[in-house]
A and B are shown apart, each in its own frame.
Chain A
Amino acid sequence: MSDTTLTKSDGTSGVGPVEGVSLYDVDNPAPYIEAPRKRTSKTPRATRGNFEMIAWLFMRLSGVVLIVLVVGHLLIQLVLDGGVSKVGFAFIAGRWASPFWQFWDLLMLWLAMLHGANGLRTVINDYAERAGTRMWLKGVLYSATVFTVLLGTLVIFTFDPNIR
């Protein structure tokens, strides 16, 4: 085959050709690059019951409810009746005088926070490789979620329109 030529990847790659003097040889092979967290026969079997299924279902159901809640919220706050300029302490106080809007905002707070937190939990599970990193990221996530949900709930229930 005289018309076939072999060209090494000069300039096409930042890495040099395979041949040449190397630290590694047959007696001193380089380590394999292990795929992270691979499945072995020691991988533990079924662990947490139905939690993942319930989390998956919750994402779908809360998502549907949130579409109504959030689009309604944005319409009222930003579009209808003068737009965003009308929003102030008095406007919020007027809305929270009604149990309906209190319930609306409470439901939206809980669903949005849990929906977002569960989404971030799956992102952390997917992308954080080391167990320690996972634990810390999820710890921060859960603390922030619990704090925000509790604070928001407290404000909605103890809101005082006559505050000085």
Chain B
Amino acid sequence: MATPTMDKLEALEKDSTTSHLITVTFRIRRYNPEVAEEPTWQDFQLEIDPKERVLDALHKIKWELDGSLTFRRSCAHGICGSDAMRINGKNRLACKTLIKDVSPEKPITVEAIKGLTVLKDLVVDMEPFFQAYRDVMPFLVTKGNEPTRERYQSAEDRERFDDTTKCILCAACTTSCPVFWNDGQYFGPAAIVNAHRFIFDSRDEAGEQRLEILNDRDGVWRCRTTFNCTDACPRGIEVTKAIQEVKRALITRRY
């Protein structure tokens, strides 16, 4: 948000400064358990630069139109993974989605990610998501004495799991997965991606244990290869490929 500049611009002649603005309707799925049992859609119309992001529009609504609008965001630059939401029916980060890219001539729908309990407006209960993450042991496990220097790894070994280190745990993939929508017991793509990051790490020694966890009834075999997760990932991780690599490791490992 270039707020100071905006304020200065507003002080100037409206005709010359607002010509780049367009009128956009945001249709937001509101839910407040203290007011109504059912969620409702509410429309907000605002003048905004199409090169701004959806998050900027949400800020504008919250700060200038309706302070009760509730959503998560922290860094606002696509790193923290707080503001994953369903924009025009597709999971995206509000802070990485430009308004001009989501057909602003029509109302832009914004709703909470699916498959997790909605607490208020766009805020969901992330606990089941993080429980699945914890269940795959997302930390380095080694045996023996701690080395006095760093643990060496060749560039090739590092490259093996490079793609899955990019995960920011925004839950866009897991909540785009139709299997997860219907059965929250499934680990979900994000947990498998983070297991993949350690299973294929040459320094880690608990790969076998993690594979055994993902060999479970609710593990990788529930994946139906619909590629929703790969489409949804704001970091461009090839999520479905990572899941398939874990399946292959399970089939080809030595017993």
Contact = CB atoms under 8 A, between A and B. Distances in A.
B215 A18 contact: no
A26 B250 CA distance: 51
Given A9-B41, A9-B42, A18-B36, 11 more contacts: A5-B45, A13-B40, A18-B32, A30-B33, A31-B37, A32-B117, A37-B185, A43-B131, A47-B217, A48-B217, A53-B251
B185 A18 contact: no
| Dominant SS among interface residues on chain A | loop
11 contacts: A4-B65, A9-B42, A22-B35, A25-B35, A36-B184, A47-B217, A52-B215, A125-B183, A126-B179, A126-B182, A126-B224
B40 A46 contact: no
A164 to B, nearest CB: 51
A29 B47 contact: no
B217 A53 contact: no
B34 interface: yes
B159 interface: no
B215 A17 contact: no
| Dominant SS among interface residues on chain B | mixed
A99 B200 CA distance: 49
A147 to B, nearest CB: 26
A127 interface: yes
B27 A50 contact: no
Contact of A46 (B43, B216, B251): B216
A122 to B, nearest CB: 8
Contacts of B125: 32, 35
Contact of B44 (A6, A17, A34, A45): A6
Interface string B195-225: 0000000000000000011011111011010
Contacts of A17: 40, 42
A38 B117 contact: yes
Contact of B250 (A25, A37, A53): A53
A9 B215 contact: no
Interface in B40-63: 40-47, 60
Contact of A43 (B42, B118, B127, B185): B185
Given A47-B216, A52-B215, A52-B219, A26 B183 contact: no
Nearest to A43: B185
B43 A39 contact: no
Interface in A50-96: 50-53, 55-57
A12 B215 contact: no
A22 B36 CA distance: 7
Given A6-B45, A7-B45, A52-B217, A35 B117 contact: yes
| Top 5 A-B residue pairs of the complex, sorted by shortest distance between their CB atoms | A38-B184, A52-B221, A38-B128, A30-B37, A13-B41
B237 interface: no
A39 B216 CA distance: 14
Contacts of A50: 215
B247 A56 contact: yes
Given A4-B64, A39-B128, A56-B221, A29 B33 contact: yes
A100 to B, nearest CB: 32
Interface in B226-241: none
